[in-house]
Amino acid sequence: MHRSYRKPSNDTIAEEYVTAHIIDGAKIAEDIRNQVKREAAALKAKSGITPGLATVLVGDNPASHAYVRSKRKTTADLGLESFGYEMPKETTQAEVVALVRRLSADPKVHGILVQLPLPAHISEEAVLGEVALDKDVDGFNPINIGKLGMKNRSPTFAPCTPAGVIELLERTGTPLEGANAVVLGRSNIVGLPLSLLLLGRNATVTVCHSRTRDIAPLTRAADILVAAIGRTRFVTAHMVKPGAVVIDVGINEIADASKKSGKRLVGDVDFDAVKEVAGAITPVPGGVGPMTIAMLMRNTIRAAEIATAKCT
Amino acid sequence: MHRSYRKPSNDTIAEEYVTAHIIDGAKIAEDIRNQVKREAAALKAKSGITPGLATVLVGDNPASHAYVRSKRKTTADLGLESFGYEMPKETTQAEVVALVRRLSADPKVHGILVQLPLPAHISEEAVLGEVALDKDVDGFNPINIGKLGMKNRSPTFAPCTPAGVIELLERTGTPLEGANAVVLGRSNIVGLPLSLLLLGRNATVTVCHSRTRDIAPLTRAADILVAAIGRTRFVTAHMVKPGAVVIDVGINEIADASKKSGKRLVGDVDFDAVKEVAGAITPVPGGVGPMTIAMLMRNTIRAAEIATAKCT
């Protein structure tokens, strides 16, 4: 399956961040991080406040530890304060709730990130419900999700990965208004909030998922196709309209004997084939991945600004 | 445009509520009201509690007065207590907020309905934000909207009109799982929450709106088509897939010289033509309309049950 590339008819895909149809998420994320760094310095100079992000990690999931390490490193690199809390997997729900409640009341903490998933004996809803709305930099509070979709309402924070996808689309000049956007996946942290964000930007939005029948005719009608289902190379070239913008949120590990580690990461999209059809596409890694942390940093700066505005 | 009727291939449309493809919303609503009446009597016998619904009406919009009158009459007919509050259009926001706050604290009031729209000088968000979550029988709190769409979360109440549409679909045996559902409109009170309810029932959901381009190919793919845009006879027969279930939420007034009043109500669907194509269709009036109040009554009973459970 090898088709010739057709440039989107609107002719607006930005050259700055797109090379040979490939969207450079790493570069966009870097630009956002640099801006956050400048804003953090400015906030400190103006009000003496250093934005602070608390991370709460329960248990010993290696992937969760790697994510939190990476978030904490970026936080420090940008001149923000990082407060790290690690609790053993036996920790009770009451103990986690007590910690989050304390952080919600702590004026030095502007954002709170509870790394998911929590151990099975702890209710995610109960813990996340303790995160103060003004510190909910993950944007997972149902109030924020509800306001994301409602007219004449604005969430305090939008969830980081969906906000990162919107940023990728906007910075590459992808028209959203009136576009047919198809989102594969309806998770609380990506598919659902992203669908609401796209709707708020006047896209016509279709949400597909594991129960969707006959998915290809739907995806082939998409001007913007986002895959967030966690299934290796699920989106094949024949599912993509020539010229469509394809955003791959999937991060799946597959075996690769050619690598020292014996494995590598691939997305939900069959990248090599789809890039020949798509107008623009994000790679994995280096596409959506770096955007999530960048948007978390931006939300943390916003949280610090909200707190500062309340005190002055 | 006159096509022969094709029965839905799944062969499950219920006969009880559907005659000549026309869904009898009045009959379904009556059955629900009768059940609410029985439940109210049972609750009173068991715990001595009469479910109470407070209505708050600000200003002199004649349609709003008619709606509230109808809601209050039904409330009383079913043996529920109706508390009516009417305030002049000059009422300040602070006065409305104070009333709603008082009702939120009143143990005899189990549900609170603030009739919309409010006068322009009063913030809808500020007033609705004062409705206690356990009394939000309209289901308009962003928390309820967010939970409607999220996995592993349940709203305390679903908004009445969307919940009524789901009830119509389920009572007529319309399969939702895996169905292509297309919702026209994305309002806070119908389109958005209905889309989330359909998604939660495993339909593949597309939301169309005023910015959607080339709408007919999308609607023609719909197994379930819901129109909630307030545009007279917007949905024509060529936009409907033969056998589709068509739900018309629109209530539009048009001139009709043959009527004593000189006008009559029609929906967003060109009923006479579409009924020849659709597998089943709701009329206007007598379709979705009666369901809204029925679901409000059901939410009020649930609110009283929640309050009762808290006290025992």
SS3 A286: coil
Contact check, Cβ <8 Å, B151/A187: yes
Residue B143 CA to residue B156 CA, distance in Å, equals 9
Instruction: Give me the catalytic one of B136, B138, B248, B268.
Output: B138
Q: Report pLDDT for B9.
A: 44
Residue B180 CA to residue B187 CA, distance in Å, equals 20
Residue A103 CA to residue A127 CA, distance in Å, equals 12
Contact check, Cβ <8 Å, B211/A124: no
**Residue of B146, B208, B218 lying closest to A142 (CB–CB):** B146
Per-residue CA distances from A32 to A35, A69, A157, A167, A168 (Å)? 5, 20, 16, 10, 11
Bridge-based pairing state of the strands A280-281 and B81-87 = unpaired
| Nearest CA-CA distance, residue B175 and chain A, Å | 12
* Optimal mutation site among A204, A209, A229, interface B, most CBs of chain B within 10 A: A204
Residues of B near A (CB-CB distance < 8 A)? 124-125, 141-153, 177-178, 180, 186-188, 192, 196, 199, 202, 204-209, 211-213, 217-218, 221
Averaged pLDDT, A13-26: 84
CA nearest to B150 within chain A: A188
Specify the residue for token string 């801006």.
Answer: A35
Question: Cβ distance B204 to A208 under 8 Å?
Answer: yes
What stretch(es) of chain A map to CATH 3.40.50.10860? 48-132
pLDDT per residue over A228-286, tens digit each?
A: 999 999 999 999 999 999 999 999 999 999 999 999 999 999 999 999 999 999 999 99
CATH class (in words) of the domain with range A48-132: alpha beta
Whether residue A8 has pLDDT greater than 50: no
Q: Report pLDDT for B10.
A: 46
Residue A272 CA to residue B282 CA, distance in Å, equals 48
Bridge-based pairing state of the strands A263-266 and A252-255 = antiparallel
Q: What are phi and psi of B58, to 5 degrees?
A: -115, 125
Contacts of A221 in chain B (CB under 8 A): 217-218
What stretch(es) of chain A map to CATH 3.40.50.720? 172-290
| A19's tokens | 């090379």
Residue B56 CA to residue B232 CA, distance in Å, equals 30
pLDDT per residue over A94-148, tens digit each?
A: 999 999 999 999 999 999 999 999 999 999 999 999 999 999 999 999 999 999 9
Question: Cβ distance A21 to A5 under 8 Å?
Answer: yes
Share of chain B above pLDDT 70, in %: 95
Residue type, A264: R
The larger pLDDT score, comparing residue A200 to residue A310, is at: A200
Q: Report pLDDT for A233.
A: 96
Nearest to A138, CA basis, from A119, A157, A155: A157
Residue B72 CA to residue B93 CA, distance in Å, equals 24
Residue B16 confidence class, pLDDT cut points 50, 70, 90? confident
Residue type, A151: K
Of all helices (H) and strands (E), which one includes residue B195?
helix B191-200
Residue partners of A277: CB distance under 8 A and separation at least 6: A1, A3, A5, A237, A240, A241, A242, A244
Q: How far is CA B121 from the centre of its chain?
A: 26
**Residue of B145, B178, B209 lying closest to A213 (CB–CB):** B178
Residue partners of B6: CB distance under 8 A and separation at least 6: B242, B243, B279
Mean pLDDT of chain B: 94
pLDDT per residue over B21-61, tens digit each?
A: 999 999 999 999 999 999 999 999 999 999 999 999 999 99
Residue B310 confidence class, pLDDT cut points 50, 70, 90? confident
* DSSP letter, residue A212: -
Q: Report pLDDT for B4.
A: 37
Residue type, B149: G
Residue A12 confidence class, pLDDT cut points 50, 70, 90? low
Contacts of B207 in chain A (CB under 8 A): 199, 204-206
Q: What are phi and psi of A208, to 5 degrees?
A: -110, 160
Q: List, in sequence order, every beta strand (DSSP E) within chain B.
A: 18-19, 22-23, 52-58, 81-87, 111-114, 180-184, 204-208, 224-227, 245-248, 252-255, 263-266, 280-281
Averaged pLDDT, A1-21: 57
The CATH T-level fold of domain B172-290 is Rossmann fold (3.40.50)
SS3 B153: coil
Q: How far is CA A292 from the centre of its chain?
A: 4
Residue A165 CA to residue B87 CA, distance in Å, equals 46
Question: Over the range B75-111, which residues count as b (16 or more CB within 10 Å of their CB) and which as e?
Answer: beebbbbbbebebeeebeeeebbebbeebbeeeebbb
Q: List, in sequence order, every beta strand (DSSP E) within B144-256.
A: 180-184, 204-208, 224-227, 245-248, 252-255
pTM of the predicted model over 0.95? no
Nearest to A220, CA basis, from A242, A194, A205: A242
Residues of A near B (CB-CB distance < 8 A)? 124-125, 141-153, 177-178, 180, 186-188, 192, 196, 199, 202, 204-209, 211-213, 217-218, 221
pLDDT per residue over A46-88, tens digit each?
A: 999 999 999 999 999 999 999 999 999 999 999 999 999 999 9
Instruction: Give me the catalytic one of A24, A136, A138, A268.
Output: A138
Contacts of A143 in chain B (CB under 8 A): 142-143, 146
Nearest to B151, CA basis, from A117, A187, A191, A124: A187
> DSSP secondary structure string, A99-142?
HHHHHHH-TT--EEEEPSSPPTTS-HHHHHTTS-GGG-TT--SH
Q: Report pLDDT for A7.
A: 43
The larger pLDDT score, comparing residue B194 to residue A1, is at: B194
SS3 A89: coil
